[in-house]
Amino acid sequence: MRILILGGDGYLGWPTAMYLSRRGHEVGVVDNFAKRRWEKELNIMPLVPIPPLEERVRIWQQVTGLPIHAVTADLCDYPQTKEILRDFRPDAIVHYGEQPSAPFSMMDQHRSVFTQTNNITGTLNLLWAMREHAPRCHLVKLGTMGEYGTPNIDIEEGFIEIEHNGRRDVLPFPKQPGSFYHLSKVHDSHNILFACRVWNLRSTDLNQGVVYGIETDETALHPELVTSFHYDEVFGTALNRFCVQAVAGVPLTVYGQGRQKRGFLNIRDTLRCVELALLNPPGIGEYRVFNQFTEIFSVLELAELVKRQGEKLGLSVKLQHLKNPRVEAETHYYNARHQKLLELGLEPHRLSDVLIDSMLARIQENAQRIRPEIILPRVQWDHASSHPSSQAAAREGKGKQRRSVLEESVKAAKI
Ligand X SMILES: NC(=O)c1ccc[n+]([C@@H]2O[C@H](COP(=O)([O-])OP(=O)(O)OC[C@H]3O[C@@H](n4cnc5c(N)ncnc54)[C@H](O)[C@@H]3O)[C@@H](O)[C@H]2O)c1
Given a contact cutoff of 8 angstroms between Cβ atoms, the answer to whether 84 and 4 are in contact is: yes
User: Which residue's CB is nearer to ligand X, number 88 or number 285?
Assistant: 88
Applying CB under 6 A, does 179 fall inside the site for ligand X? no
What whole-number distance in Å separates Cα of residue 178 and Cα of residue 173?
16
Q: Of 141, 185, 261, 307, which residue is the catalytic one?
A: 185
The site map against ligand X for 142-161 (x = CB under 6 A) is x-x-----------------
Name the segment binding ligand X (CB under 6 A); options: 95-103, 282-290, 318-326, 360-368.
95-103
Using the rule CB under 6 A, which residue among 3, 7, 102, 300 binds ligand X?
7
Q: Among the options 19, 96, 148, 181, which is catalytic?
A: 181
By CB under 6 A, is residue 351 in contact with ligand X?
Answer: no
In the list 3, 13, 68, 242, the residue contacting ligand X (rule: CB under 6 A) is 13
Write out the binding residues for ligand X, residues 66-85 only, by CB under 6 A.
74-76
For 40, half-sphere exposure in the C-beta direction (CA atoms, 13 angstrom radius) is: 9
Asked if 34 touches ligand X (CB under 6 A), the answer is yes
Nearer to ligand X, 128 or 200 (CB): 128
Helices (H), ranges, 228-378: 238-248, 267-279, 299-312, 340-343, 353-365
32: number of Cβ within 10 Å: 22
> Per CB under 6 A, does 359 bind ligand X?
no
Query: Residue 141 or residue 170: which is nearer to ligand X going by CB?
Result: 141
The residue sitting closest to ligand X, measured at its beta carbon, is 10
Q: 181 an active-site residue?
A: yes
Distances (CA, A) of 13 to 25, 27, 70, 96: 15, 11, 12, 6
Residue 312 CA to its chain's centroid (Å): 31
Q: Which residues contact 21 (CB under 8 A, 6 or more apart)?
A: 27, 60, 64, 66, 67, 68
Q: Which is nearer to ligand X, 13 or 177 (CB)?
A: 13
Q: What are phi and psi of 127, to 5 degrees?
A: -60, -40
Give least dist CB 81 to ligand X, A. Answer: 8
CB neighbour list of residue 72: distance below 8 Å, 6 or more residues apart: 30, 31, 32, 33
Check binding of 178 to ligand X (CB under 6 A): no
Figure out which of the listed residues 31, 39, 232, 233 binds ligand X, where binding follows CB under 6 A. Answer: 31
Query: C-beta of 317: minimal distance to ligand X in Å?
Result: 23
Among candidate residues 158, 161, 163, the one with its CA nearest the CA of residue 190: 158
Can you tell me the distance from the alpha carbon of 232 to that of 373, in angstroms, rounded to the nearest whole number? 9
Is residue 33 close enough to count as binding ligand X by CB under 6 A?
Answer: yes
Under the binding rule (CB under 6 A), the answer on residue 15 touching ligand X is no
Of the residues 121, 123, 144, 294, which is catalytic?
A: 144
Among 17, 19, 71, 100, binds ligand X (CB under 6 A): 100
Instruction: Choose, by CB under 6 A, the member of 208, 253, 324, 401 that binds ligand X.
Output: 208
The set of residues, in sequence order, having a beta carbon less than 8 Å from that of 52 and lying 6+ positions away, is none
Of residues 171 and 410, the one with the C-beta less far from ligand X: 410
CA of 321: how far to CAs of 16, 229, 253, 258, in Å?
35, 24, 6, 8
Stretch of 106-114, 167-175, 207-215, 343-351 contacting ligand X, by CB under 6 A: 207-215
**Catalytic residue status for 144:** yes
Closest to ligand X by CB, 284 vs 413, is 413
Among 122, 158, 177, 236, binds ligand X (CB under 6 A): 122
Between CA 188 and CA 248 the distance in angstroms is 38
Residues 126 and 95: beta-carbon distance below 8 Å: yes
128 exposure class (CB count in 10 Å sphere: 0-12, 13-18, 19+) = middle
Site for ligand X in 227-266 (CB under 6 A): 228, 237
Q: Does residue 60 bind ligand X (CB under 6 A)?
A: no
Measured from the CB atom, the residue of 101 and 309 that comes closer to ligand X is 101
The residue count of the chain comes to 415
Decide if 60 contacts 21 (C-beta within 8 A): yes
Nearer Cβ to ligand X, position 201 or 267?
267
Active site residue 185: yes
Active-site residues, by number, are 144, 181, 185
Binding site for ligand X (CB under 6 A): 7, 9-13, 31-35, 74-76, 96-100, 118, 122, 142, 144, 208, 210-211, 228, 237
